[in-house]
Structure 1
Amino acid sequence: MTSNRIQRARRQELVRLMVQAMQDMGYSQSAVTLEKESGFPLESAAVAKFRDGVLKGDWTLVESLFPTLELDQNKDVVVVRFLIRQQKYLELLETRHIKKALIVLRNELAPLDFNSERLHSLSSFMMCSNAEDLRRRAEWDGAKGTSRQKLLAEIQKYISPSIMVPEHRLETLLEQATTLQRISCLYHNSSEYISLYSNHVCDRSQFPSVTTHIFRHHSDEVWYVAFSNNGKFLASASRDKTAIIWSLETWDKVHVLSDHTDCVSFLSWSPDDTKIITCGQDNVLKLWSVESGSCLSTMKKHEEPVTACAWLPDGKWFISGSQDKNTYLWNLDGTTIHKWPGARIADLAINKEGTRMVAICHDNKIHIYDLITKKEEATMEENAKLTSICLSSDCKYALVNLSTKEIHLWDIDERRIVRKYLGQKQGKFVIRSCFGGIDQGFIVSGSEDSKIYVWHREHADLIETLSGHKGAVNSVNWSPVNPYMFASAGDDNTIRMLVLFN
């Protein structure tokens, strides 16, 4: 294609997108004027009739216009006919024209010989007692709802976009442009509006890289650190057999939780931040009151060190994992409700809905459990020892540290690795990582070389290596309410708070 033809094609596309955008914004007269002046209509008269026919339910007209849509005669025509006749059938049932609906089912839908399972479901709707029952069972909101708009959107998947421009296309392109600018910005950590007038770039000052506070009360290595859900407190677990709750308002310790008889390796805040569970190498879990700092109960069921624990979102249940090959579901009075046997748990996490648990085990596998059915849903294999897991805020991704100096980002639903982050030092110890920043655009990890490593999530580029600790950095955790603050814990017995440079 010559450059002149390319320019003309691009001009035509731009005009059509502008016409559609004007119509979407209510500037109908301006849209008509632009079509006339440019000579580029948004769509042909036949396509406009087709669109109008779908929205008005004129199914005879709609099918008569098929030749104008340039559909694939061998495949797409059948699918689109099925979608249209399905809508026609459901609308007849909704208005209680049962005989006419039966004719459509037998004479129009069945002869298409398409999707027999769906056809069987459609036939079962003949037994619906009324229109409300039909809409409920069919998960369909009726002719006066949004079903015709949804049908049109579904049909458009089979029509060339050059024939029928997808809805709100210019708005979609602009959103894609701003998204690309955001993910291309290595230090993006701002919620400010991204303008289309200039290229978007954040500098290093948007990243929290300055240590403002160091907590020093622990007398031995600090293995884990976690913010409260409201971001007002921090809790740390240590080899010195204690866990400490710290105030981020007074920058001082609030309570020292000192009832364990061996190292405390992990802890978890309750959803309402009124309680904390701690666990460790004395094989027990302890439930604490955040307000008083007193131990409310001790759970003794595991026979080996308890490596991880996590709350369900209702705050009435929690789960613990151990090296004894047992994972337990508990209630608040210390009763075990369920046991998953067989896996030596290294770490675990629960999604926000409380429907899924993701656990890493000493068999180098990631196990996914359905918490409704209590059954294992899937297993994903890694090629090295796994030390920690962290779920993204949307719970679609899992961040996993490996002993081979790698961190892998897994797409949980697709069961595949989508990113690998390299550079940190890890081999002997349990090192933890987390998501951070606005939109969780950063990946942050501790390291055995006393540094904190930071990567751009999308590009996997190493953008920061932060010093300060005097021993291995075991755990990092990002504030759930402040995108410009995170904490790190290390073998130098300290917790460091990092914020923006000011």
Structure 2
Amino acid sequence: MSEEVVGSKGIIKRDELVRILGEALYSLGYKRTGDCLEAESGIQSHSRVVKLFIQKIIEGKWDESLASLHGISIAYANISALPFLLILEQKFFRLLEEGNFREALKTLRDDITPRCHTDEDRIRELSVLLLRQSSVHQSRLKSGEDLLEELQNVIPPVVMLRKSGLVHLVEQVLLLQRDSCRFHNSTNLSLFTDHHCGKEQIPSESIQVDDFGLVSMKHQLSGHAKPVSCISWSPNDDQLLTCGEEERIRRWDIATGECLQIIAKPNLKIVSCAWGPDGNSIFFGVRYGNVGRMYMWDLQGNDLKCWKTPRNEELGITDKELITILKNSQIIFVKLDSNSLRFRVINENQPIVSFALSEDSKFLLVSLSNQEIHLWNIDGPTNAVLATYRGHKRSRFVVRSCFGGLGQAFIASGSEDSQVYIWHRDSGELILKLGGHSGVVNCVSWNPVNPHMLASGSDDRTIRIWGLLNQ
């Protein structure tokens, strides 16, 4: 029976598996159940001599444990000198504490020195303790349980199983399973600031997120003089557009954190921005008193097209249409090949705060004043709400949301409590909150190419780029 294997891979021996299960039962305190497993299987977690050795170590009976270890070394030829030495050191320390210096000298001379004759530093250190007849620091004296755990790491598993080995394996499996559908650990990579405007660097920080591990900031881009209200990734994901409320647009290099360009024109109060689908044009909304306009520029700042619109705080760009808010509860779709407002409309029953377009242009996220986010299907002959997301905070300010993650399986949103909220798109479950900003998080934007990267902009005048590693 002992040579039988279990599992489809043929690599787990039955007796090894039973021994691991038995050790786990004993370590959890289920002695009778462990005894029943050994009796029924005929397989012992540990041999009789190993069990005796474990018992004597726990009891702190060093001479008897050394005798048991000697018996084990006869049965197994792969026991090194280190386990003997660890036990002998504890015996030596105990004798010093008891003031039995004669026996301590005998142990050092007759037992320890022959086993570590090549480790002169260790022998010298023990000799000094003996000559000074000094007390041993409490950290050097170990309990039987602590010494046993140390011994389990140096005695081969074929002889003595490591304590709670199965528990450790189960922990690793559960971590892998959890992380495969949630977010994985990442490292705090770097911090950048905008040198064009002379802002000081702000220290980066690792953010502890519920039970999902560390989600850390990758870059921090500073430079806006007013709260950041809009973020847009370039189609090839190597650049970022940001703008503040009635402020300039800044174009950033993601690899270096450098501000590549500041886009502005006299008397233009820019309130929103977005990349064109080709990556070579920029769309932005401006205010002229109570009148709004949408502009299309090339990267050199040349006007390509202009539309008049009642509102322009929000922009969505497809390869055929420009999307913006028409009235408080209406969204319009304007044809890009026309200078007139030829459009179709969807209607909400609450004032619209913001919206975001999916990568395939088939779905629209609409954030409402009642702290709900609606997922609209805008691809069919009739538009319909598919899901609703709740939990974030919004009472006074414009707060934006976005699609993201692998297959755009997640929904993210800013919030007035200075956090970023993330939901599962299909289930609507709130799964994550990212803390770290010191002001309202106005906008979020998920990298269109790298599903592991999310940007957030805040009233604290910084943009944080989060490294979310999704397996």
Shorter-chain TM-score tier: 0.3 to 0.5
TM-score normalised by L of structure 2: 0.48
TM-score normalised by L of structure 1: 0.45
Larger radius of gyration: 2
